[in-house]
Amino acid sequence: MEMAGGQVTFMNLNRPDDGLEASTSRLETAPIVPTPPSEEEKSKVEAEFFGKPFKPEPLLILTPVKNAASHLEPYFRLIDSLEYPKNLISLAFLVSDTHDTTIEMLQDYADRQRHLPYKKRLSSVSIYEKDFKFILPEMDRHSYEIQPLRRSMMARARNYLLSLALRPHHVWTLWLDVDIVRTTPNILETLMRHDRDIIVPNCLVDIDAFWGYDKNNWLETTESLDFIRDLEQDFVLVEGYDEQPTYRLHLIDVATHHGPTYGIPLNGIGGTFTLVKSNVHRAGANFPSFTVDHAVETEGLARMALRMGFEVWGVPGVIVYHDIGSSGVEH
């Protein structure tokens, strides 16, 4: 389904897909982490950072979903809360293998958008449906053993959505999880002002305990590079599991008090809130379902982008919050 120019159409894109083979390449050295500003310097740095002219540009927000009906209303509220010109935002969903009311709720949201005034209305809302018929083993979707397979499947879904939704006028692309529930309203402007090719905020669980959620945002360390040198080339590393420590530094473990201007280079990223200059995707950096430097999907995107000469950055002091009760949603 696509809503643009006041017209709504529906597209069902079910058809079989072929599998992909595995390949990989090797890594080099750990990145250098810049020194954060001192407390005395911070206010001056922030004044200069936010004092420069800023011009909003067309943004595409992409969200793959599966059985996400219980998360859509908070998601819609999050979109509405963003301080960014709504008429510059295109929103696109890929609905896969779903048996709840996700599609009906998305259609209703698109219809509501059509009746809003121009400056309050999104530029477009597109809803695509494709059943990949992903059959995972009978175990929890977050269990360690199935992560390489699960992430490979998710990569295919992301690439499919990207190929359908990205248009020539989109300057930025935001990959947004359906179960991100809150953040600061000016987050898009803040991240765009960093002017990095790929940039992510910190992602925490939406409770008062300040727990980290997205461990896929990380950078290599000397210890982690020593560890991976002896791994088979097609071995996929996954973060946050006791079964396999990786010795990497996670963005959620970096101090958050340095403010919104302090960023660090990353080697891997998650997909909870990932802002990409669209030309990075147009250059061919996507979500590999095969192994790239021991990574697939979003982390594989970071690996691929770095190999192509793009910057990958994280901002520990800018935070998005992930729903704590979303373990039943798969996307």
d(CA 290, CA 304): 11
Neighbours of 34 (CB within 10 A): 10
- The DSSP secondary-structure symbol of 318 reads E
> What's phi and psi for 26, nearest 5 deg?
-110, 165
Length of the chain: 331
> What's phi and psi for 300, nearest 5 deg?
-65, -35
Query: What is the pLDDT, as a whole number, of residue 140?
Result: 63
d(CA 67, CA 290): 26
Q: What is the pLDDT along the chain (331 residues), one digit of tens a residue?
A: 555 554 444 555 454 443 333 333 445 678 889 999 998 899 999 999 999 999 999 999 999 999 999 999 999 999 999 999 999 999 999 999 999 999 999 999 999 999 999 889 999 999 999 998 876 655 566 676 778 888 899 999 999 999 999 999 999 999 999 999 999 999 999 999 999 999 999 999 988 777 899 999 999 999 999 999 989 988 999 887 878 899 999 999 999 999 999 999 999 999 999 999 999 999 999 999 999 999 999 999 999 999 999 999 999 999 999 998 753 333 3
The structural domains of the chain, with segments of one domain joined by +, span 2-13+39-322
pTM for this entry: 0.88
Nearest alpha carbon to residue 53 among 201, 193, 231: 193
CATH number of 2-13+39-322: 3.90.550.10
Q: Where is 306: in which H helix or E strand?
A: helix 297-307
Query: What is the pLDDT, as a whole number, of residue 272?
Result: 97
> What's phi and psi for 92, nearest 5 deg?
-135, 135
d(CA 284, CA 191): 22
> What's phi and psi for 76, nearest 5 deg?
-60, -40
d(CA 125, CA 108): 11
d(CA 219, CA 314): 10
